Homo-oligomer: A and B are copies of this chain.
């Protein structure tokens, strides 16, 4: 009870510190991220992979409208987890920044540069009053100077670079899987397989090509590319992860909305 009451005191008005130095609104925003279905990012020797769970609540919903993978620039893709409408704002911000960079410096924006512009933007919403934090985490993947790069932004506005990571629901379990199976030397194809296997590790009954989204950016073309359903199915078949018809239509948590 005591803890309960104490917590409530820090939820009102602006984002402020609790006696133990936490920013509850930021931590609650992290809970909003966990309510979203999982997204995964993997860096390989010749490119980066983004993989997302895009199951839908109803067969009548268009899967293409579940926006979890976004192209930020030719050479940068972003996967999101959490509050969808918030994610859209950050993606818009990212695209504008990428364009501004191109106009101002005549060259594509760096992946790290873009990540930090986004996190600085997020941080403002955790310190200045009159607005709430963003309830979304992003995985920012791209090629910079010929090297694959993979970043995370969280609701506090902290940037992290990863070899492989997951955000959203089941983040912990997927991370365990990635830590156990990641190999820095693998190529892009193996990266896609690992992403699918990690996603399958928290989904009983396998995956359907339509229920997932995959995007890759290889160091050669430096072009963001989403995999077709055929490509995804081929990967799933090969890895024996293809769901049977019955399991494929399972709905995610209603809260994703």
Contacts and interface: CB of A to CB of B under 8 A. Distances in A.
Interface residues of A, number: 81
B21 A60 contact: no
Given A11-B16, A23-B135, A164-B60, A257 B154 contact: yes
B61 A32 contact: no
Interface stretch (A2-10, A185-193, A216-224): A2-10
Contact of A16 (B6, B25, B165): B25
A31 B88 CA distance: 24
Contacts of A135: 17, 21, 23
A20 interface: yes
Q: How many copies does the complex hold?
A: 7
Interface stretch (A115-123, A203-211, A225-233): A115-123
A146 interface: no
B127 A129 contact: no
A134 to B, nearest CB: 8
A44 interface: no
Contacts of A66: 160
Interface of A: 2, 4-25, 28-35, 58-62, 64-67, 83-86, 88-89, 92, 116, 119-120, 122-123, 125-135, 151, 154, 156-165, 175, 178-179, 182, 255, 257
